[in-house]
Each structure stands twice: as C-alpha cells, then as structure tokens.
A and B are shown apart, each in its own frame.
Chain A
Amino acid sequence: MFSWFANPHRFLTLSSWLAPICYALGALLIAWGLWQGLWIVPKDEYQGGDIMRVMFLHVPAAWLAMASYMGMAVMSFIWFIWRHEVADIAAKAIAPLGATWTALCLVTGSIWGKPTWGTWWQWDDARMMSVLFMFFLFLGYMALRGAMDTRQKAARAGAILAMVGAINVPLIKFSVDLFTSLHQDASVITVDGPKMAAVYLWPLLASGLGHSLLFAGLVMTLMQAEIWQRRAAQIRARLIAGD
C-alpha cells in the first residue's frame, strides 16, 4: 500500500482533487465550530465563564499539534524503513505546519491561563513544558534538515530526530495524570468516554475535524510544491550535464 502512495505522479494526481475538498470541508467545519463556540453555546460558569470559548481554538490546536508530530514521526519511520521519497516529503511538509499549530496551542493556552490560573506561564508545569518541548522539536527538525548538505543526509537526520522525539507525545497526553499540573484533566479522549456536555462536545469535534482537514490540505499543497521543486532541480541538473 505504501508503495502505491509513494509514487510522486500518483500523489500529484490524487492531491490535485483531494486538497481542494479538504480546504472546502475544513473551512465549513471551522466556520460552524466558530459560530457555535462564539455565538450559540452558553457560557460555562464552572470553567470560568466566557473564557472557556477559547477552547474551540485551543483544543483543536492541541490535538493537531500532537497528531502532526505523530504524523511526522510515522512518515519518517516509513522513509527510514522503505526509503519512500514521498514519505520524506510528507514529513518535511508537516514540520512547519505542526510548529504553527503547536505555537497556536501554546499562545491560546497562555491567554486562557491568565484569567483562569492567574498566570500566563508556569515553568514547572509538565503539560506546558512538554508542549513547549514539542515546539522546539519541530524547530529543531527543520534546522537539522537545513544544516545538512545533501537531501539524503537531511532526510536521515530528520527521521531519527522525529522518531526519537515521538516519545514526547504520550508524555504530553498523560502529563496531567502523571504529574501535578495547573492544566485540567482530559475531558474528551478518556477511557470512560467524553466527560463534556454534548452542547460543547459537537462544536469542539467539528472544529477539530475542520482544523485537521485544513491541515491535511496544506500538507498536500506543500508536498506538491516540494515535488515540483525537485523536478525542476532534476531538469536543471540534466540540462547542465548536457543530457
């Protein structure tokens, strides 16, 4: 199956129609989630009143930050084992977008934290620090790739960092259970099912799916750009060689 998807030409054909669908559906779901989150759902006094409305941006950003890192690690693993170039292109494309959504998670979490906890940031909080560490892993991945002089070396070094760093993702998820944290416990993805009222849960899930589709569309477009750049470089190399 991986080999079927690993063909760049097949990927370009598939993504040319799949990416616009992801953009359209993602925009619709995000818009619906926003409308529900800002206009429709009642404020929750237990969660600090209206400030809980930040949840409809912060939680999808947090889910996507973790999912994108896992995606980057899985793509790196596929490249590492089977040497499929499209997997490496995917990992490379995920990194800057994953960093963006992780930064969004950190910033919105900090803004939510100020009125709720009375502080923008807590340096000894396991959840905050593990997410910050993941942000630095994304940046480190991009810097490491950029520092290598060949594409193969960049892919290899990046893949090793992405795979090793994946251990941080379960640590983020369980940090609120394992350590003392200002952050509230998980309320959606739990063993006993969601603890959240349906009126908040559905807009949150819609928003989460919308962000995921938008992210997938952006990754596909970045991958297309990388494939086009590599093709142009190959043609130039052939021209120089006089082939």
Chain B
Amino acid sequence: MIPEFDKNAAFIWASYALGAVMIGGAILTVMIKARLAQAELARTQARTEEARRK
C-alpha cells in the first residue's frame, strides 16, 4: 500500500528514489570491487603456486 501525501508528494518520492539509487549504487560498486579484488588475489596466488611447482 503506497502512502498518500499532500501536494509535495513528488518532492518526497524524488528524494527517496535518488536515495535508493545513490545508496544502491554505492553498495553495488563496493561489492563488485571486493569480488574483483578477491578474485585477483586468488588468481595471483594460483599463479605463484604453479610457478613454484615448475
């Protein structure tokens, strides 16, 4: 159920929509960055192991 606001409803929804986009974007960026960093470290460690075995 969507709440009904007075004449300023558009300003309220615009604020929360921008908030969702900005915070959601920050969360997504941080998660992608962490995943990439973790994968990079795993790849590098695997390469080191391989080089050591050779």
- Complex interface: stretch among A106-114, A128-136, A154-162: A106-114
Q: A39-B3, A218-B30, A225-B33 are in contact. Are A111 and B40 (CB under 8 A)?
A: no
A232 within 8 A of B: yes
A72 within 8 A of B: no
**14 A-B contact pairs sorted by A residue (CB < 8 Å):** A49-B6, A50-B8, A54-B16, A103-B22, A108-B19, A112-B15, A224-B37, A225-B34, A228-B34, A231-B41, A232-B41, A235-B41, A239-B47, A239-B51
A150 within 8 A of B: no
A146 within 8 A of B: no
Tell me which of B3, B7, B14, B23 contacts A214 (CB under 8 A). B23
Which B residues, 1 to 49, have Cβ-Cβ distances below 8 Å to chain A? Answer: 3, 5-9, 11-12, 14-16, 18-19, 22-23, 25-27, 30-31, 33-34, 36-38, 40-41, 43-45, 47-48
How big is chain B's contact interface, by range? 20 to 34
Which A residues, 71 to 89, have Cβ-Cβ distances below 8 Å to chain B? Answer: none
Nearest-neighbor residue (CB-CB) of A110 within chain B: B15
Nearest-neighbor residue (CB-CB) of A100 within chain B: B26
Interface residues of A (CB under 8 A from B): 34, 38-39, 43, 48-51, 53-54, 57-58, 61, 96-97, 100, 103-104, 107-108, 111-112, 114-115, 214, 218, 221-222, 224-226, 228-229, 231-232, 235-236, 238-239
B18 x A221 contact (CB < 8 A): no
A43 x B44 contact (CB < 8 A): no
Q: A104-B22, A226-B37, A235-B44 are in contact. Are A111 and B30 (CB under 8 A)?
A: no
Looking at chain A's contact residues, the main secondary structure is: helix
CA distance A114 to B14 in the complex (A): 12
User: A34 to chain B: closest CB distance in Å?
Assistant: 8
A49 x B8 contact (CB < 8 A): yes
Nearest-neighbor residue (CB-CB) of A233 within chain B: B44
What A residues does B25 contact at CB under 8 A? Answer: 100
B38 x A51 contact (CB < 8 A): no
What A residues does B44 contact at CB under 8 A? Answer: 232, 235-236
What A residues does B14 contact at CB under 8 A? Answer: 111
B48 x A235 contact (CB < 8 A): yes
Nearest-neighbor residue (CB-CB) of A113 within chain B: B11
CA distance A39 to B5 in the complex (A): 10
What B residues does A107 contact at CB under 8 A? Answer: 15, 18, 22
